[in-house]
Copies of this chain bind each other. A is one copy, B any other.
Amino acid sequence: MVQSIHRAFDLLTALAVEPAGLTELARRTDLPKSTAARLLATLQDLDAVERADESGLYRLGAAFNALAGSSSRTDLASLAVPHLHNLTNQTSETSGISIPDGYRVHYLIQVDSDNPIQIRDWSGELIPMHAVPDGQIYMSEWPDERLERYFSLDPVSFTAATITTEHAMRDRMDLFRERGYTWVMEEFVEGLNSVAAPVKNDAGKVIAAIHVYGPAYRFPIDGTQSTIGEQVVKAADRLARSIVRAGVTR
Q: Does A142 contact B (CB under 8 A)?
A: yes
> Using an 8 Å CB-CB cutoff, how does the interface string of A238-250 with B read, 1 for contact, 0 for none?
0000000000010
Tell me the bound Cα distance from A41 to B6 in angstroms.
11
The residue on B at minimum CB distance from A39 is: B2
Instruction: Flag if B1 contacts A42 (CB, 8 Å).
Output: yes
Chain B residues near A59 (CB-CB < 8 A)? 71, 74, 78
- Contact assessment for B48 and A9 in the assembled complex, using a CB-CB cutoff below 8 Å: yes
Q: Which B residues are in CB contact (< 8 Å) with A15?
A: 70
Q: Chain B residue with minimal CB distance to A35?
A: B2
**A70 CB, min distance to chain B CBs, angstroms:** 4
The reply to whether A204 and B64 form a contact with Cβ atoms under 8 Å apart is no
Please pick, from B38, B78, B204, B249, the residue contacting A2 in the complex, using a CB distance under 8 A.
B38
Inside 8 A of A61's CB, which chain B residues have their CB?
A: 71
Distance A39 CA – B1 CA, assembled complex (angstroms): 7
Complex: chain B residue closest to A4, CB-CB: B4
- The answer to whether A12 has its CB under 8 Å from any CB of chain B is yes
